[in-house]
A and B are shown apart, each in its own frame.
Chain A
Amino acid sequence: MSVRAPRRLTRAPWLAGALAAAVLVGLVVPLHRPQAVAAKFDLIEERVWLLPPAGALRVVSLGFHAMAADAIWLLTIQYIGGHLIGDRQFPHLRRLVDTVVDLDPHFLEAYTLGALFLNYSGARVQTALDLLQRGYRANPNRWELPHDIARTYYLELKDYPKALEWFKITDRIPGRPHYIPRFIARLYAATGHRETALELWQAMRDSATSDWVRDIANREIAKLERQSATPFTPGASDTSIRKRP
């Protein structure tokens, strides 16, 4: 005589599966969601706080440095995004970007985007310049870094001799934008500063890969256009440019 399993037991796997789904949807998710939503920003801040030094990350990443740099870069993006909609202050941005470029010194966008936010949202021009110069030392064949250094000297510090020096370095690197020789000529002639500034911002807006960068560029373009009614006052350093051969 064969013994048949009760029908209830045969259906047990489906029943258990259905119960598991019910527990997940009815209990686990409702208990977890409010905490997760409330703590989203804090979680990013906590991760930034607890970020180990780059030396330690190099060891634990077992040589997968580029992937570790990508992970910290994604955290940096979340950190910038969180603060952009909040206090617009980025006290840990330099540390985050330093960690990324310690892990991967060729991570170009970490230098350029990091410097942009340090500059335009954090008002830390010198820190931004230091970061870009570090990038240039690690990547002497990339025009983007001396270009951004020149732009910072030109637009933020109005130090035209320095801007000229860095635009000339940019000019020597293959792949540089077509407008560099024109800027160098204008700097020698000490004219057309507003046009140059406008062109620099338009170039940044057109090549931007994110709305964040585009917003900064649009803001600065609007500022320059508002000023177009008033005559441009060249900086004191213009005289020294004129004296150059």
Chain B
Amino acid sequence: MTIVAIAWNTFREAVRDRILYSILAFALLLIGASVILAGLSIGQESRIVKDLGLASTTLFGTFIAIFLGITLVSKEIERRTIYLIVPKPISRPGFLVGKYCGLALTLVVTVGVMGVMVFLLAALVDGGATPALLIAVGVDFVALLIVTAVALLFSTFSTPTLSAIFTVAIFVIGRLSGDLTLFADQFADAALKRGIWVMYLALPDLGRFQFGSRVVQGLPLAPADIGMAAAYGLAYTGFLLLLAIAVFQRRDFK
């Protein structure tokens, strides 16, 4: 019950944040502008609208996850409200999980708005909007859950600025980590190859959640792939949350 209350409070606090509306406005503007760009593409209107729309959803969803996530804990410390919460019968893990769920709920709403706009524009441009488009947005949302958990983890022990830098770095690494396996194949040294593989397995692979290209090309989506990606995303999020709880437990707020 406490977790739900904290989550709801975090959600209400997030939707009052002006930064959320600024990012959302930019996202909707860019998604809308894709229709203008599509007009220049010679027969590729639907493709441009979907590609740009899905990429904007991912990118701006990530911005929201980072900018709101990095202040989740640090804001409480800065305002000293954490000193009022900690002595209360609220467990620290419960507090963190509640905060995380509140931000995840905010992301559900914002990504949902962006996804529906992409869907409607795609339907408007050539009637080519399929439910698969919304599935692609949904799978991509799991990647945002990982980014949010990364931001929360850094937020438990670092300043907002540093947390933002670290989270952006992890996002970039995560988007490119799939290429690590290609690099590994280039090396003859078995130990180095194994090292790169270990690094790849430990880092988040955010490329696994990109089903948008397949949807845009009209290629079928394999339910097993979607299920595996979602399971991987949720497992990785769980790992990051546990790590964040471990760090947060060790902090002294007395």
Contact = CB atoms under 8 A, between A and B. Distances in A.
Contacts of B40: 74, 77-78
Given A59-B179, A62-B172, A63-B206, A70 B213 contact: no
Contacts of B176: 59, 62-63
B44 interface: yes
Nearest to B50: A66
Contacts of B217: 106
Contacts of B52: 67, 70
B43 interface: yes
B55 A73 contact: no
Size bracket, chain B contacts = 20 to 34
Interface in A45-98: 58-59, 62-67, 69-70, 73-74, 77-78
A63 B175 contact: yes
Nearest to B213: A66
Given A59-B179, A63-B175, A66-B51, A212 B42 contact: yes
A165 interface: no
B219 interface: yes
B127 to A, nearest CB: 15
B64 interface: no
B94 interface: no
A65 B44 CA distance: 16
A200 to B, nearest CB: 19
A113 interface: yes
A109 B217 CA distance: 11
Contact of B213 (A62, A77, A104, A113): A104
Query: Majority SS of interface residues in chain A?
Result: helix
B32 interface: no
B48 interface: yes
B42 A113 contact: yes
A111 B52 CA distance: 21
Contacts of A78: 40
Nearest to A77: B42
Contact of B43 (A59, A67, A109): A109
A210 interface: yes
Most-contacted residue by chain A among B40, B43, B216 (CB, 10 A): B43
A70 B172 contact: no
B144 to A, nearest CB: 14
A74 B43 contact: no
B99 interface: no
A10 interface: no
A230 interface: no
Contact of A77 (B41, B212, B216, B219): B41
B213 A210 contact: no
Contacts of A59: 176, 179
B128 interface: no
B41 A74 contact: yes
Contacts of A58: 179
B212 A109 contact: no
Contact of B44 (A67, A109, A212): A109
Given A64-B55, A106-B219, A73 B213 contact: no
Contacts of B207: 63
Nearest to B48: A70
Contacts of A65: 213
B174 to A, nearest CB: 9
A209 interface: yes
A63 B212 CA distance: 11
Nearest to B43: A209
Nearest to A104: B213
Contacts of A212: 42
B210 interface: yes
A63 B51 contact: no
B42 A70 contact: no
A70 B44 CA distance: 9
A210 B42 contact: yes
Q: Which 10 A-B pairs have the closest CB atoms?
A: A209-B43, A63-B175, A67-B55, A62-B175, A210-B42, A106-B217, A66-B51, A66-B213, A64-B55, A63-B207
12 contacts: A58-B179, A59-B176, A59-B179, A63-B176, A64-B58, A66-B213, A70-B52, A73-B41, A77-B41, A106-B217, A113-B42, A209-B43
Given A66-B213, A109-B43, 11 more contacts: A59-B176, A62-B172, A63-B206, A63-B207, A64-B59, A66-B51, A70-B47, A70-B48, A70-B51, A77-B40, A104-B213
Interface of B: 37, 40-44, 47-48, 51-52, 55, 58-59, 172, 175-176, 178-179, 206-207, 210, 212-213, 216-217, 219
